[in-house]
Structure 1
């Protein structure tokens, strides 16, 4: 069933940064199913949370009866999009691109319905057509429709041209034409009439619209979603410890969950609208009550639950909640071995020790203490816990019973400072 108010819904949620011919596209999708696409270049072996808004937008269109197409940039990924990049990307090998492509396809399959009888999602790879293209034909038939004057006036390119230390190579400069050609091919072969992308993709999207209009005399449309940054202007999803990936092996579900729990208070209700499918009226009501009984903390939890479930599923959400409860409420009785493995991966600081260490030395090696004497003071002042149990024995030596699942000990200083000891068996 086609929803006539989809564009209004996207706009109310803040999911639209810019859209072409808004009234026209609203009329088209009111009674018709369209095909739309979004491209993802495989420049790493996983997508990250910066890709969530385009994926959520595709999902919303599919739920409204439209057909989403995911275009993997097996060809364009070999070049790299220069849009708003301060310096030229490192070129990746064909083999890496192929391996990363397969991993990303598997990831995307979790977010869209590829088995719907009416509007199943489709994955394509632009390598399929660029591998067959002749460069002279491309320059004659496609390149002639683009003005260098216009291309270098785009803000994303202009910034690089003005930099004395980093210009822009012809390789990266050509990216704009390649993405425009993608839109042209998808319109021609799959009747795609709408391209979705981040707001940094506007120049590439408009080039595709221009090419289709010049060659095919057809009207197509573009829609961009916002690029988010934190209060310091750092790109959303980038932290001091690195990017927040969608792959659970690169960013554990626990760390993913905690990322959302620790966002700035000012973003909670905005992000609930952007990243969840909760009704906007319900979110507005929650926002009005945010100062009552720590409601904003509960709503952060609601956000973390919804996004973690969307990306990782119910089972891994429950694991993230178990670990959170264990660390913050000192209840580790229900933790599984896989939960400790998440903490070992990236959840909290981790130190590997052999079987002979005492508590004082462990505190120093875990950096919870600066010296054995400081360790002694913390122990006698009742500040140290082993597996959520207070320990005041200054001469304590770890025992086998402390090694959960035979290899993990949770060492804590106060309520918020933790370190996971991972025991190494002596040969």
Structure 2
């Protein structure tokens, strides 16, 4: 299947400038293509992941993806989708973010047939006079004002700095066409105006028949109409320090039946036959949630590796069964991150006093005795029924944690200091 036909089947094409021409080009030769990301933060989240999944699909078919880290454009701010000016960052913060994002890209794309560049390297060399003479003359203000990315800001106002963003992004496309053999730019639906501005610039400078193309990806909404990628706890990050691999895995495994097939098409590299089989299982055996499990496995492995999938499944099984003894300290740090948490010393203590005085898990000694006698308390997965039993906080999990379960589902993480 041609790469453009595959993207169509996956529902991943919003707009293209010349779909037939792009299809013909990709069948004739391996092309260079790019997507940019501004270093406004030090991690991508899963909403950012969508266009980069498209680049990965091109890479797997032999094409050459180029990632532009926007050290130049990121320093001034992108007006896209914002109702106010972006707060400018220090250059030190921008550099930190550039390094972090570059590392994430290498993790996703590897080091073969893949290039990372930083637009600061060429934009910073432009003088004001060069910018105005060589590029400003080629942009019509009326046309720029009609671009949706600018028009949406006119009512509340937009600075000249952010107004010029589309010129800088256009210069990026021209530079990459000349120096990296890039002929296609991919971006979100809100980037259409910026991308086509770049095509217009290339056609003015290099000739109107220059084969360069734009492809944008639809805005992704969940079945309930809300924006994809947001949870009650905020964004789902690719950085494992911000969103643990276990939390990442759980995000995908908890997806709605109405969305899971769409996400399998967008976020996995499974073929049409396998996705159709999973879609049938969603229809006939939704309670097994096989499609969700496969989605969680595939995306977690792509972002965090196979070992992260194994650990996430191990944590999931342990939490479901209550059998937590075999978890590692690292797995506990992931799986119990959002559980009620207290800190205690390493001092050994009677279980009743420990539950009431040290951890405050129990409201009173009377209640603690009753719960222990009734078998409602488990320490590190083991049921404790003896009110004279002693808790040794440093005995398990490298001496870092104690896991308390009260009743069937209430877990507490006790950190040992």
Residue 129 of structure 2: aligned partner = 136
Q: Any conservation in 1 of the 2:186–2:216 contact (CA below 8 Å)?
A: yes
Instruction: Describe the SS at the equivalent of 1:111.
Output: helix
Choose the corresponding residue for 1:411, options 396, 404, 407.
404
Aligned to 1:329: 321
Number of the residue aligned with 2:11: 14
1:179 to 156, 169, 183: 169
Does the aligned pair in 2 maintain the 1:197–1:224 contact within 8 Å? yes
Partners in 2 of 1:150 and 1:376 — Cα distance?
A: 76
Q: Which of the residues 79, 95, 98 maps onto 2:92?
A: 95
1: CA distance, partners of 2:218 / 2:369: 52
Shift of 1:235: 3.7
SS of the residue 2:79 aligns to: coil
Structure 1 residues 102-181: aligned runs within 5 Å: 102-115=99-112, 120-163=113-156, 167-181=157-171
Paired with 1:416 and 1:162, the residues of 2 have a C-alpha distance of 52
Q: Pick which of 369-378 and 219-228 moved more.
A: 369-378
**Alpha carbons of 1:295 and 1:273: their partners in 2 closer, same or farther (altered >3 Å)?**
farther
Q: Deviations for 1:306-327, whole angstroms, at most 9, x for unmatched residues?
A: 1110011111221111111111
What is the rounded CA distance, in whole Å, between the counterparts of 2:353 and 2:253 in structure 1? Answer: 32
Task: Please tell me whether residue 72 in structure 1 is matched to residue 69 in structure 2.
Answer: yes
Change (3 A) 1:271 1:395: farther
- Of 171, 174, 178 in structure 2, the residue corresponding to residue 188 of structure 1 is 178
Equivalent residue, structure 1, for 2:23 = 26
Cα pair 1:343 1:420 within 8 Å, conserved: no
3-state DSSP class of the match of 2:215?
Answer: strand
TM-score, structure 2 normalization: 0.90
Residue-by-residue CA offset, 1:378-425 (whole Å, 9 max, x unaligned): 55554433222334456765334764321211122444432211112x
* Distance in structure 2 (CA, Å) of the matches to 1:286 and 1:135: 56
**Per the alignment, do residues 409 and 177 of structure 1 end up closer, same or farther by CA in structure 2, a change over 3 Å counting?**
same
**How do residues 393-404 of structure 1 correspond to structure 2 at under 5 angstroms?**
398-400=391-393, 403-404=396-397
C-alpha change, 1:354 and 1:202, in structure 2 (3 Å) is same
Q: Does 1:236 align with 2:233?
A: no
- What is the RMSD computed on CA atoms of the aligned residues? 2.6
Are 1:272 and 2:288 matched, yes or no? no
**CA contact 1:410–1:421 (8 Å) conserved in 2:** yes
**Contact kept in structure 2, 1:386 and 1:402, CA below 8 Å:** no
1:174 deviates by: 1.5
For structure 1, which segment, 152-161 or 251-260, has the greater mean C-alpha deviation from structure 2 after superposition? 152-161
The yes-or-no answer on 1:351 pairing with 2:342 is yes
2:299 to 289, 292, 307: 307
1:17 CA drift (Å): 2.0
Q: 2-side partners of 1:370 and 1:185: how far apart?
A: 67
Partner of 2:81, secondary structure, is coil
Contact 1:47–1:247 (Cα < 8 Å) also in 2 = yes
Among residues 268, 273, 276, which one is paired with 1:281 in the alignment?
273
Farther off after superposition, 203-212 or 371-380: 371-380
Cα deviation digits, residues 48-86 of structure 1 (max 9, x gap):
212222221111111112111111111111122110123
Deviation at 1:242, TM superposition (A): 2.4
**Residues 349, 204 of structure 1: CA spacing in aligned structure 2 closer, same or farther, 3 A cutoff?**
farther
Kindly provide the CA deviation profile for residues 123-162 of structure 1, in whole angstroms up to 9, marking residues without a partner as x. Answer: 1110110111011221222122222223223333333322
Which of the numbers 312, 325, 329 marks the counterpart of 1:320? 312
Change (3 A) 1:403 1:113: closer
Question: Structure 1, unaligned stretches of length 5 or more?
Answer: none
